[in-house]
């Protein structure tokens, strides 16, 4: 039998539960958010357990810190992420679905590059990038996934938050004067 009392200098279950709850990942609601990229990670099919990304060359994971929603309101969720599959050669894609996925991912990556001003030479150049992202949940095989659907420069956020003005409703025409009958 092993003694577990010395783990991490003594284990306090109440404190561990409290700390775990405070660090719990809260998923933001679907919508548009001002974010800052705080962390990046690049993985390749040769990395351990990453063979599933083949025939893509890399998986670029971006971690965002949410600043506010598009209307400037504070958000309960503070973090979200985006995973982008990239490849240097689309002709290697074995199916139309993979080619479509490539173009969607490449388009989103291109938007990050455009906001940055040029394609980054390494993933660290993306850290600190401020932008607006749109999150949308989709369901695949009874599982829900929240994805970054679109990306804009942060200075375009104000225009995105302004809802299109509704067309003015026509005023009802005044009721036509009716002739009174003598018995009324």
pLDDT tens, position by position, 114-134? 998 988 888 999 999 999 999
Distance CA 177, CA 180 (A): 9
Answering whether pTM is above 0.85, one says: no
Average pLDDT on 162-166 reads 55
Residue 41 pLDDT > 60: yes
Closest CA to 57 of 19, 90, 94, 81: 90
- Residue-level pLDDT at 13: 74
Which of 21-25, 139-143, 154-158, 174-178 is predicted least confidently?
Answer: 174-178
H helix runs in 23-95, sequence order: none
Q: What is the pLDDT of residue 56?
A: 84
Q: What is the mean pLDDT of residues 163-181?
A: 54
**Nearest C-alpha neighbor of 90 from the set 82, 98, 80:** 98
Q: Give the pLDDT of residue 58.
A: 87
* pLDDT score, position 133: 93
Chain CA centroid to CA 105, Å? 13
């Amino acid at each position: 039998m092993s003694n577990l009392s010395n783990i991490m200098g003594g284990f306090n279950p109440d404190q561990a539960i409290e700390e775990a709850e405070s660090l719990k990942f809260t998923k933001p609601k679907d919508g548009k958010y001002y974010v800052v990229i705080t962390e990046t990670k690049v993985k390749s099919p040769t990395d351990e357990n990453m063979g599933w990304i083949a025939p893509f060359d890399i998986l670029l994971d971006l971690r965002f810190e949410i600043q506010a929603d598009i209307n400037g309101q504070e958000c309960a969720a503070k973090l979200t992420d985006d995973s982008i599959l990239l490849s240097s050669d689309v002709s290697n894609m074995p199916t139309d679905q993979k080619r479509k996925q490539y173009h969607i991912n490449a388009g989103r990556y291109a938007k990050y590059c455009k906001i940055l001003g040029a394609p980054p030479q390494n993933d660290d150049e993306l850290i600190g990038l401020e932008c607006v992202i749109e999150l949308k949940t989709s369901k695949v095989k009874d599982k829900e996934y929240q994805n970054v659907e679109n990306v804009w420069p942060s200075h375009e956020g104000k225009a995105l938050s302004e809802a299109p003005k509704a067309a003015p409703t026509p005023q009802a025409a005044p009721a036509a004067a009716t002739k009174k009958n003598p018995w009324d």
